[in-house]
Amino acid sequence: MTRCLQLLMSHMASFPVLRCAIVSKQHFLSTLSTKVVDLRSDTLTTPTPKMREAMKNAAVGDDVYGEDPTVNRLEEMAASILGKEAAVLVPTCTMANTAAILVHCDGRFNEIICGDQSHIHVYEVAAIAQFGGVQSRLVTNEPDGTMNIQKIMEKIRPRNDEHQPWTRAICLENTHNRCGGKVISLDYMRQMRELSFENNLVLHLDGARLFNAATALKVPPADITQYCDSVSIAFSKDLCCPLGSVVAGSNDFIAMARRARKALGGGMRQAGVIAAPMIVALEEMVGRLEEDHRKARTIAQAVDAMGDNPVCKVTMSGVHSNIFLLELDGVITPEEFSKRMTEVTEHEQKSLGQVCTALMFPFSSRTVRLVTHNDITDHDVDLVCKKLQYVIEEMAAPAES
Ligand SMILES: *Cc1c(COP(=O)(O)O)cnc(C)c1O
């Protein structure tokens, strides 16, 4: 038992987020009324009762045979909403991106251009290199999630030099996770469409949170995806599904993406149980995303209202969707700040009249990421706003005296 615990703790040393969870658990045990508001990620959302009902009742068949009616319906709905000829269900958005890039970079000696902060490059275990032999050519992401177009052009390879790989695709991300949930504008998407067209390149969009982008831009999703050849969407983020993603594109592309999916181990059988809650998400969850954006803005505003302070700030003009970043000014580290948010002091409890802890993600050397989602209520937002203001004041106090 002790050995088990030791092992667990030693693993956790490299996972600050998990450590926070444990700290809060202790507080939960010591103060029964503690409210834990989990702002680490929208992947933490659990399926709604309606989704569970849909899973239970889903009509199913063997999807590798193309005979699962629920999967077929989901793929048709997704293709139609995204304005593409076809779509295919995959278990995760990592597989969606990987399958898409493997198809776009068929054969050998190929390369994609993507952002140095892109999910594809940072968080997908180099899948495209492992399974596709594809090299990533990086362009620095601007703080707004875009890549400078001139810099992209400089990275496109000439085709007549046998020393160099061929550039095959440019990958964008909208909304942009590591850039703090930034929404990429339609105008930028259009410019990228032109650039890729002129250079005979494919444009792939990692739209894990495309519906958040569409909500923020107040346009139908197809207005964004009209500019890309292929798009991946995650349903397990702010859309609350337990799992499931789709890739959409042309008929020919999707036919090949199905082969890539099978090769990657993603050919699933009675997958209607996965597709059913995804249909519920398309019908019912897309419309509520604005609520999460509003909640993110409310929390950000509470920090902004603290004005100039030595602890942290939020750039309000950069709060676009359900993700935003607290920018720490270097006095306190993201880890220290996040840890303090998982604790409740006696003075705090007395002065706020609440026992609330919040889980947040230390994101970079200077930032903490906050994510709102379906499981965060208005009451939670209220508690977190008060707590953030209290903690910022507390941490700022010694510097003032
Ligand atoms: C989460 C995420 C992915 C990968 O999704 P998984 O389903 O976790 O594999 C890809 N891109 C972006 C932008 C994401 O946020």
Provide the percentage of residues in the chain whose pLDDT is more than 70: 91
pLDDT over 70 (residue 171):
yes
Cα 19 from Cα 17, distance rounded (Å): 5
Cα separations in angstroms, 222 against 188, 201, 207, 260:
15, 20, 12, 24
Per-residue model confidence (pLDDT) at position 329: 85
Q: φ, ψ for residue 163 (rounded to 5)?
A: -75, -25
What is the model's pLDDT at position 330? 82
Q: What is the pTM of this model?
A: 0.91
% of the chain surpassing 90 pLDDT: 89
Alpha-carbon span 143 to 139, nearest angstrom: 12
ω into residue 175 within 30 of 0, thus cis? yes
**Which CATH fold would you assign to the domain 61-270?**
Aspartate Aminotransferase; domain 2 (3.40.640)
Q: Which ligand 1 atom is nearest residue 236's CA? A: 7
What are the residues whose beta carbons fall under 8 Å from the beta carbon of 16, sequence distance 6 or more? Answer: 335, 338, 362
H helix and E strand count, the chain = 17, 13
The CATH number of 17-40+288-396 is which of 3.90.1150.10, 3.20.20.330, 3.40.50.300, 3.40.640.10? Answer: 3.90.1150.10
Q: What pLDDT score does 398 carry?
A: 65
* Mean pLDDT computed over 22-33: 51
pLDDT above 90 (res 81)? yes
CB of 113 within 8 A of CB of 171? yes
pLDDT at 28 over 60: no
Per-residue pLDDT, 2? 46
The answer to which of 22-26, 214-218, 318-322, 380-384 has the lowest mean pLDDT is 22-26
Distance 312 CA to ligand 1 centre (A): 28
**348 Cα to the center of ligand 1, angstroms:** 37
Q: Which atom of ligand 1 is nearest to the CA of 175?
A: 13
Q: Is the pLDDT score of 5 beyond 70?
A: no
Which residues contact ligand 1 via a Cβ below 6 A?
92-94, 97, 119, 173, 177, 206, 208, 234, 236-237, 245
Q: Which atom of ligand 1 is the closest one to the Cα of 243?
A: 7
Residue of higher predicted confidence among 31 and 38? 38
Hey, is 3 helix, strand or coil? Answer: helix
Which tens digits make up the pLDDT trace of 302-315?
999 999 999 999 99
Closest atom of ligand 1 to 207 CA is 13
pLDDT at site 124: 97
Q: How far is the CA of 255 from the centre of ligand 1 (A)?
A: 22
Task: Return the minimum-mean-pLDDT range out of 211-220, 221-230, 328-337.
Answer: 328-337
- Mean pLDDT value across residues 232-259: 98
Q: What are the residue ranges spanned by the domains of the chain? A: 17-40+288-396, 61-270
For residues 60 and 273, is the Cβ–Cβ distance under 8 A? Answer: yes
List the single range of 91-100, 218-227, 322-331 with lowest mean pLDDT: 322-331
Looking at residue 131, what is its pLDDT?
A: 97
Q: Report pLDDT digits (tens) over 320-356.
A: 999 999 999 888 999 999 999 999 999 999 999 999 9
Give the distance, in angstroms, between the CA of residue 149 and the centroid of all CA atoms in the same chain: 24
State the distance from the centre of ligand 1 to the C-alpha of 344, rounded, in angstroms: 32
pLDDT digits (tens, 9 = 90+) for 269-311: 999 999 999 999 999 999 999 999 999 999 999 999 999 999 9
The pLDDT of residue 202 is above 80:
yes
Q: What is the mean pLDDT of residues 28-46?
A: 82
Q: What does the alpha-carbon distance between residue 93 and residue 175 come to, in Å, rounded to a whole number? A: 14
CA–CA distance, 238 with 213 (Å, rounded to integer): 12
The 3-class secondary structure across 53-97, one letter per residue, is HHHHHCCCCCHHHCCCHHHHHHHHHHHHHHCCCEEEEECCHHHHH
Mean pLDDT computed over 11-35: 51
Nearest by Cα to 26 from 336, 342, 361: 342
* Maximum distance among all Cα pairs of the chain, rounded to whole angstroms: 72
- Looking at residue 16, its pLDDT comes to 43
Q: What's the 361 CA to ligand 1 centre distance in angstroms?
A: 16
What is the overall mean pLDDT for the chain? Answer: 92
pLDDT band at 397 (very low <50, low <70, confident <90, very high): confident
Confidence grade of residue 12 (pLDDT, cut at 50, 70, 90)? very low
Please give the distance, rounded to the nearest whole angstrom, from the Cα atom of residue 401 to the centre of ligand 1.
45
